[in-house]
């Protein structure tokens, strides 16, 4: 693993993520069923906009009340996870897929002494109750969790849904080798196409257009 050594949410962290695919958005490239998502062209357009104008990612970043609440609750959720499981969580800025540093994963933590990572979600209460009732990994997070294992080669990943008003849900998700192979293959395709478009942009801008 190649670690990005900075605090998540810092200016350095946002700059490292600029104009490259990140695991939290992999569902815009690939569906949980392993097929190419219809959203991938729009996602590429967003990354290209960030490539042209570094301020775009800041200008277009939207924080909803739910996202703000989730960020505020995450430290408490992480403490609850450590208390319940006995696991020690190490926070990281991010993990690069390889030494080309063209794709980044930012897990909510890595478990000390175990080949395991952690993904925390702090949804609103009704959504959290729904997650608890099913007791399964929500499909919308399948790509993010499996991508974490693709980047780390870890054997499993813990998923936690947390809300202070109700009991926590913690489940362990194993590797889906078939999906991980598809993630790596599709991500390589996406990065190749993204780099082609970046080269066209460079040429266009150099010509003064």
Beta-sheet strand order (sheet of 109-111): 89-90, 109-111, 116-121, 156-161, 169-174
**What pLDDT does 59 receive?**
56
- The pTM (predicted TM-score) of the whole model is 0.90
In this prediction, residues 10-14 reach a mean pLDDT of 93
In this prediction, residues 59-75 reach a mean pLDDT of 69
pLDDT digits (tens, 9 = 90+) for 69-125: 777 899 999 999 999 999 999 999 999 999 999 999 999 999 999 999 999 999 999
**What pLDDT does 94 receive?**
97
Confidence of residue 177 (pLDDT cuts 50, 70, 90): very high
**Unique residue bearing structure tokens 């998923």:** 159
CA 158 – CA 153 distance, rounded (Å): 14
**What pLDDT does 80 receive?**
97
Token code pair at residue 3: 């670690």
Confidence of residue 62 (pLDDT cuts 50, 70, 90): low
Which domains, and CATH codes, for the chain? 2-206 (3.90.320.10)
CA 176 – CA 156 distance, rounded (Å): 10
User: How many C-beta atoms lie closer than 10 Å to residue 149's C-beta?
Assistant: 25
Q: Tell me: pLDDT of 66 over 70.
A: no
């Amino acid at each position: 693993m190649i670690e990005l050594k900075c605090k998540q949410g810092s200016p350095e962290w946002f700059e490292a993520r600029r104009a490259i695919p990140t695991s939290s958005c992999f569902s815009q490239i690939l569906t949980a069923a392993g097929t190419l998502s219809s959203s991938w062209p729009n996602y590429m357009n967003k990354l290209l906009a960030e490539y042209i104008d570094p301020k775009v990612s800041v200008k277009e970043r939207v924080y909803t009340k739910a996202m703000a609440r989730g960020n505020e609750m995450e430290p408490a959720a992480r403490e609850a996870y450590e208390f319940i499981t006995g696991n020690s969580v190490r926070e990281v800025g991010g993990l690069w897929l390889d030494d080309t540093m063209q794709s980044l994963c930012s897990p909510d933590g890595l478990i000390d002494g175990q080949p395991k990572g952690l993904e925390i979600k702090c949804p609103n209460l009704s959504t959290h109750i729904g997650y608890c009732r099913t007791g399964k990994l929500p499909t919308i997070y399948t790509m993010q969790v499996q991508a974490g294992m693709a980047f780390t080669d870890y054997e499993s990943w813990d998923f936690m849904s947390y809300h202070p008003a109700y009991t926590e849900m913690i489940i362990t998700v194993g590797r889906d080798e078939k999906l991980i192979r598809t993630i790596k293959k599709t991500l390589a395709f996406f990065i190749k196409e993204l780099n082609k478009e970046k080269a066209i942009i460079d040429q266009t801008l150099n010509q003064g257009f």
